[in-house]
Amino acid sequence: MESHESSSFESDKKRERLRYDQRAKQRLQQGKPGSQGLLGAAGIRPEFRAPYADYERQIMARCQKGFRVLDLCCGTGMLSLIAHSAGAEISVADLSPTNVQLARQTAEQNGVTVRGKPADAESLPFANGSFDLVTCAGSFSYFDHSKGCKEICRILKPGGYFICVDSLNHHPLYRANRWLHYVRGNRTGSTLLRMPTMKIFSELEADLGPVEYKKFFGIFSFLIPLLKPLCGGAGTALVMDRLDHFFYFWHRYAFKFVAVAQKRAS
């Protein structure tokens, strides 16, 4: 059974790489990898922006001039340049080689040069202690958590930080929506099985180091399609923020979380 599951995960990984390669090729052909003013949280719609804005804050609070930063599973590179304004040296990595190309071109269009390598998060092509900071946005469902966290720990310097923003899988409506995307062929079965739960924090603690920060967002994100026509994007964002504040004890059912883990010094 374990061999069958491993084979299935590897097959799904290839399918996801091909899917993202194709999307990245289309964007490159359109000549629109990225544009000034639409990077980072600023490029996220207001009603979904809060976790990404917090992700930016956590990165900037810990980044220093001269830091080597890796954006793991970089995608289009939209969130890869956050640490640049702090004087960091940026590298990007993604399972999709075309995504790496796209992220590097996005950076170049914004006057930034980044290094990039195609990379599997479960076996990263970087030396031990290569980075002061590793960032990752929305990618835990694409790799084995334990293998990935051990690799992140390996390439981080002692005392270095891992900062992520991702989705939780406890809310039944969000789980149903992901299953619907699977049925429609928009995601693979292994991504459903690997969606983060609250266990992700203990996994980070075990494989990397203490989780010094975590925050949850979007407990009621399923209301956005109803609220946005009435309140607009900014108004809906305000309502989401108030609901998250008053019902924070339901954070287990949040749509997104931001977490910061620090590699043990020894």
Per run of 10 residues, the mean pLDDT along the chain (length 266 residues) is: 62 92 88 64 95 98 97 95 95 96 93 94 97 97 95 97 98 96 93 96 96 98 96 97 97 98 90
pLDDT score, position 31: 72
Q: Where are the domains of the chain?
A: 2-32+41-262
Give the pLDDT confidence score for residue 2 in this predicted structure. 42
pLDDT at residue 38 in the model: 75
pLDDT of residue 159: 96
Question: How many Cβ atoms from other residues are within 10 Å of residue 100's Cβ?
Answer: 24
**pLDDT (0 to 100) of residue 33:** 58
pLDDT the model gives residue 213: 98
Output the pTM of the full model: 0.94
- 143: exposed, middle or buried (C-beta count within 10 Å: 0-12, 13-18, 19+)? buried
pLDDT at 7: 67
Measure Cα distances from 104 to 42, 94, 108, 153 in Å.
19, 11, 6, 25
Closest by CA to 42, choosing from 53, 32, 54, is 53
Whole-number pLDDT of residue 5: 54
239, 118, 143, 116: which is closest to 200 by C-alpha? 143
Q: What is the pLDDT, as a whole number, of residue 3?
A: 46
Sorted by sequence, the CB contacts under 8 Å of residue 91 that are 6+ apart come out as 68, 69, 70, 71, 114, 115, 116, 117, 131
Q: Output the CA–CA distances (angstroms, integers) from residue 211 to 164, 214, 266, in the order listed.
A: 11, 7, 16
The pLDDT value recorded for residue 6 is: 65
Which candidate, 111, 131, 120, places its Cα nearest to that of 69?
131
Q: Does the domain spanning 2-32+41-262 belong to CATH 3.90.1300.10?
A: no
